[in-house]
A and B are shown apart, each in its own frame.
Chain A
């Protein structure tokens, strides 16, 4: 059964994020990546909801939600997520994020080590090495995306196949292209032209036990960044998943969920 999001209001309606919330247990705040939450509650989140109270909000500006004009930089975003947690009464929780959402999660964990009990970073962006650049997501043509995002586009998992399913009509094709442009426009605010907005100056503040997960075949954010995050977060452990690319949670869902559950407990 599809999970319906609720819409909540923050700072007098300045932000009206859609929030997917399913499951029982310890709260787990999940921050999505540049692509948004248009796929809804994907199988990886469903599996995690068997163990936790999964809270998956849409970032302001993604998936046609308002408020991006009030966020100029990562600092504004971190303040926003503190407002968001206040609005939901979240004081102490597990935090996880994927890709750009992983960057947001790391920033929030660095700003508010008191709030984050454990941290899971799945192929996060936010650091930069000149000799190993992160692929420029914004110049990839639509037909090129799958080969950068997943390890084996020819043999997709059901969730990946669903994500890249051929559009049923030109209308649907246009709508999906529009959503991608809109979401990437929002992502650009935190990633353009190089996704290095100062996390390196703050990452030492992360105090939570941290699990860093990376697909061995990630062609968007090379696994070398996993080593770098691991080096800069002394409380972290790094797990490389073979046969997975950047969309690790959708590609190797079982392995991914097992790693997360083993770590969070």
Chain B
């Protein structure tokens, strides 16, 4: 069983009345709420936390891409991964990922990921999200009805960039390049593991199952709600004749560990509330541009969008609700281990992305949460799925072939 430590890099200074005074945390969120000097500290503390997670024994450290988003300060996750590449040496750099439909030519993504893979000695996990509607359609202006077609085309081009050794041409609908020959191409062969993060769209996990890529369901709503999507994913894998290796699948889960259940509430409740009530306060006009989902998916989900069903979701939930409904796995190490086993087995996932910096959680609590999980929870769950081979993970260079990072000697005097 593998555990990864996921950072969203939220802006932790949204005001108490954010929900009342602002319509959205995303797209048109007021830039007056940001402060670059505080931002300097925020970024550096967040990088410290990711580096700490490696030291504690997490298998991967994860970053992702959002635009015009006050809960995700990583418009370029590759910059974060580059900073981490030099300051870490073991953990996978899980970039979840680059929204490949946004870059023209997408060769840029092939190149940057290759650089990260080589710089880190083969530790890159390459995530290819379609990207949310807020990021792609609203903040980056991509026509919704063309987004998926762009995505598939970009994927094909990047794969060719990584696997072909010749200089070739690419005559796509959205990208035409006469001479494709990226320098460098990746270290891991035939290419870094490809993970597809998704928010539950049918077409995303179907495509993922079709291609044999790892599907990583990034839900903020916990394992109880996540089960329907993961069950469908596994059904699709089975239909396609794939094995039931749990390492095909990943899941994001909010995790809060403390000495006792009561202590967990005392320490973390305010940050969980900040996350759900401020970070996820998205104007519904931005949530799902017409054409972002295929009509098939819209048709399948349309009944849930109207009437009583639509208004019942996530209203005035308390800490108790968040924990009982599985949005957050929280409590003492024993209690968390027990719930985590349910998550892992229930969803059949071999890769768990733990979100342990939540909302405005300060660094001391983040380190405490992380350390306690690594020391008292992880060991109880490590052996799960040990009978399966993880074919979806990094293949780094062996230690004897690795560069000595930061090895600077005084230069000999000239002359």
Contacts and interface: CB of A to CB of B under 8 A. Distances in A.
A141 interface: yes
B302 interface: yes
Contact of B143 (A170, A177, A178, A188): A188
B146 to A, nearest CB: 7
Interface stretch (A4-12, A25-33, A107-115, A179-187): A179-187
A128 to B, nearest CB: 14
A241 interface: no
A142 to B, nearest CB: 9
Interface residues of A, number: 26
Interface of A: 68, 72, 138-141, 170-171, 173-175, 177-178, 180-189, 192-194
Nearest to B143: A192
B132 interface: no
Contacts, number: 75
B379 interface: no
A145 B146 CA distance: 25
B141 A193 contact: yes
Interface of A: prevailing SS? helix
Contacts of A181: 290-291, 295, 298, 302
Given A182-B295, A185-B291, 19 more contacts: A138-B289, A141-B285, A170-B303, A170-B306, A173-B307, A174-B303, A175-B302, A177-B306, A181-B298, A184-B290, A186-B291, A188-B143, A189-B146, A189-B291, A192-B137, A192-B143, A192-B144, A192-B145, A193-B137
B20 to A, nearest CB: 18
Contacts of A180: 290
Interface residues of B, number: 25
Contacts of A171: 303
A53 to B, nearest CB: 33
Contacts of B137: 192-193
Contacts of A174: 302-303, 305-307
28 contacts: A138-B290, A139-B283, A139-B285, A140-B285, A170-B308, A173-B306, A173-B307, A174-B302, A174-B305, A174-B307, A181-B290, A182-B295, A182-B298, A183-B290, A186-B145, A186-B291, A187-B290, A188-B145, A188-B291, A189-B146, A189-B291, A192-B137, A192-B142, A192-B143, A193-B137, A193-B138, A193-B143, A194-B141
Nearest to A169: B307
A100 to B, nearest CB: 13
Q: Which 7 A-B pairs have the closest CB atoms?
A: A185-B291, A139-B285, A184-B290, A192-B143, A170-B307, A193-B141, A185-B290
A217 to B, nearest CB: 22
Contacts of B283: 139
Interface of B: prevailing SS? helix
Contacts of B316: none
B68 to A, nearest CB: 13
B295 A185 contact: yes
A89 B146 CA distance: 33
Given A174-B302, A174-B303, A189-B143, A139 B295 contact: no
Contacts of B286: 139
B284 interface: yes
B173 interface: yes
Given A174-B302, A178-B298, A181-B298, A188 B290 contact: yes
B397 to A, nearest CB: 44
Contacts of A182: 290, 295, 298
Interface string B266-299: 0000000000000000011110011100010011
A185 B305 CA distance: 17
B213 to A, nearest CB: 25
A192 B150 CA distance: 15
A192 B141 contact: yes
Interface in B283-332: 283-286, 289-291, 295, 298-299, 302-303, 305-308
Contact of A184 (B138, B291, B303, B308): B291
A254 B143 CA distance: 37
Contacts of A193: 137-138, 141, 143
Given A174-B305, A177-B305, A193-B137, A185 B144 contact: yes
A235 B145 CA distance: 36
Given A178-B299, A184-B291, A189 B305 contact: no
A72 B174 CA distance: 11
Contacts of A192: 137, 141-145, 289, 291
B302 A72 contact: no
